[in-house]
Amino acid sequence: MTQPLAPVEPVSGLTDNHGRMVNYVRLAVTDRCNLNCRYCRPKGPCNEPRRELLSYEELERICRLLVAMGISKVRVTGGEPLVRHGMLGFLRQLRDIKGLQQLALTTNATLLAPHLSELRQLRLSGLNISLDTLQPERFAAITGQDLFARVFAVIEAAVAAGMPVKINAVVQEGINTDELLELARLAEKRPIQVRFIEPMPFDGGSSFVAGNWNLARLEQYFRNNLPALTETPLAGSTARVFQVAGFKGSIGLIGGYSRCFCATCNKIRITPQGILKTCLYDDGVLDLRETLRAGADDGELTELIRSCLGRRQIDGFAAAEKRKKGHLPGSCASMATIGG
């Protein structure tokens, strides 16, 4: 039986063994998605049985505990969060957690339209929408669904409603690199941030080639093609954010494969299966699902989480190296099973 959840007050900050403050959790609520983007999901099925995922009660309990420990921001991710029944009710529950300062959602926006009004009422601190191309045929080729018009209409509606929108575009060499500038110009007349993400080795495949569009090349490309690019330093941000002369919005560059933001990383992840990850590149450090279902109380959970942060790797390169030493060669995880 699920124990009733009592209100909790934040009691202390949460830091790792390298002195980095941790105040942000990316909470993946499902590995299911109605799209099939090639860089996110393996070719075969990857959906876990529903009972293998954390229940909403378990997710809420974890979030309340983390907020009590010092987490101030929760980003709900998937898969696609909105394919999970009852998601809007769960977001309302998270919004009611005392001490939670920021609640954000990452989505592909294909199911967003009926929920825009309610999401606006939730005062989301961020609505991140995946969009890798402005060409409908290319969108269908990348995602497996001919839904570009629906997604773009929702983006425009969210912006018009005054919601804080960011566009996430994964840079795919030879696929969408010919329209990076066009994507960036979405921020010219809209108060949004368009973020360009390096491809990463999380497609569920057995090999990965980084390609030529790394963070340094992206920066040089935009400096060459956009006027008066000015960087705006943001503490703890995974994105390097740039203002562009004459733009209402901004552009961001995320070096997920270059791993250039590890020194100030302030986030942890919880996968759809309930695995705590202190780094995107680690193999998971604590099975929260097993721990919860074994009957651990809040004190035990708190100590286990702090212990994991006390053994956090210095950066993503060290985490990846440790993961490799413990595994035979083979397929890497997919972003769908990790949580976007």
Nearest C-alpha neighbor of 253 from the set 283, 282, 226: 226
- Calpha distance 313→281 (Å, rounded): 10
Report helix, strand or coil for 203: strand
Model pLDDT for residues 194-250, shown as the tens digit of each residue: 999 998 766 555 555 667 889 999 999 999 999 889 999 877 678 899 999 999 999
Place of tokens 């390298």: 18
What DSSP state is assigned to residue 333?
P
- Which bin fits 99, alpha (ψ -120 to 50), beta or left (φ > 0)? left
Nearest of 128, 70, 86, 85 to residue 104 by alpha carbon:
128
| C-alpha span between 192 and 194 (Å, rounded) | 6
Whether the Cβ atoms of residue 169 and residue 131 lie closer than 8 Å to each other: yes
| pLDDT beyond 70 at 299 | yes
Lowest-confidence pick of 40-44, 128-132, 149-153: 40-44
Encode pLDDT of 38-75 as tens digits.
787 655 555 556 668 999 999 999 999 999 999 999 99
Six-digit token string for 299: 């004190």
Nearest by Cα to 115 from 93, 87, 96 = 87
**Residue 328 pLDDT greater than 50, yes or no:** no
Task: Quote the pLDDT of residue 258.
Answer: 85
Is the pLDDT assigned to residue 179 strictly greater than 80?
Answer: yes
Residue with tokens 């935009």: 222
Nearest of 36, 58, 54 to residue 46 by alpha carbon: 36
Q: State how far the alpha carbon of 226 is from the alpha carbons of 47, 55, 161, 175, 192, in Å.
A: 41, 46, 28, 21, 16
Q: Are 152 and 113 in contact (CB under 8 A)?
A: no
Quickly state the pLDDT bin for 8 (edges 50, 70, 90): very low
How far apart are the C-alpha atoms of 33 and 339, rounded to whole Å? 11
Split at pLDDT 50, 70, 90, the class of 324 is confident
